[in-house]
Amino acid sequence: MVEPQRVHPTNYRIYRFFWKTVDFVYPPTCAGCQKPGTLWCPDCQERTQLLGESGICPTCGYPSPNGKICADCKTNPPPYTALRSWAEFAGPVREALHSLKYKSNLGLGAVFAEPLLAILDRMGWDYDAVIPVPISKEHLATRGYNQAAILARPIALALHKPMLRKTIVRTKETKSQVNLPREERFKNLQSAFLGNSAKLIHKKVLLVDDISTTGATLMSCTQALLEAGCSQVFCLTVARTLKYHS
């Protein structure tokens, strides 16, 4: 049986058409390997290590034998309801996300929206709004954009859900997470976020980010959202690092 294709709202179709037009006017190179002709080539897709639904923890989505709840989620259950990621943060996916984050390759939001929407179709989560993980004011001033918002925008358009950008903010500038060990990453983000209760009471939300490394950022954001009145938080990222899980 062939499953019916999703009928996307007009705003999402316009969004897709805009980026196709940009690619036509300014022919792109692959963000994963620099091959000309497309932002994400079939070779890089083939080299991508996907994280499916079998053999993963049903809560955090980390690879787990027989699909059982992992030791981390048993010992310290995360505040979010569930987390899913599309692929391992390695190889061409790593290169592409670096291109999005540091080289203003904004068209990748449209590229990665499709596999993320497929995950959401599969999961069937129920939520009222889409929220991108906020970045620091310093990073926003330097880059001019929030990479999580670039990923969240097409998802919100396709699902006809509001994207809430100012419902959670960073309340303090934190050290870079890049070179910190697992325990320090969690300490670094303690009380780093604050949710706006006036807009979050009883809301179920989808929290979107580019990468999950230890999960510290997503957990800290989720805790702030729940404290502000959210009833449930689901998390979605393009990629996740597999080496930090205990």
Phi-psi region of 176 (alpha: psi -120 to 50; beta: other; left: phi over 0): beta
The model's pLDDT over 51-107, given as tens digits with 9 standing for 90+, comes to 988 899 999 999 998 889 999 999 999 999 999 999 999 999 999 999 999 999 999
Q: What local confidence, expressed as pLDDT, does residue 175 receive?
A: 47
The model's pLDDT over 203-214, given as tens digits with 9 standing for 90+, comes to 999 999 999 998
Residue 244 has pLDDT above 70, yes or no: no
Are residues 108 and 40 in contact, defined by beta-carbon separation less than 8 angstroms? yes
Q: What local confidence, expressed as pLDDT, does residue 14 receive?
A: 86
Q: Tell the residue number behind the tokens 């091959």, with chain if given.
A: 35
Write down the mean pLDDT value for the chain: 88
Q: Which of 13-22, 166-175, 224-233 has the highest mean pLDDT?
A: 224-233
- Alpha helices for the chain (secondary structure H): 10-25, 42-47, 71-75, 91-102, 108-123, 137-143, 147-159, 182-188, 197-200, 216-227
Residue 31 has pLDDT above 60, yes or no: yes
Write down all domains in the chain, each with its CATH number in brackets: 10-240 (3.40.50.2020)
Are residues 106 and 99 in contact, defined by beta-carbon separation less than 8 angstroms? no
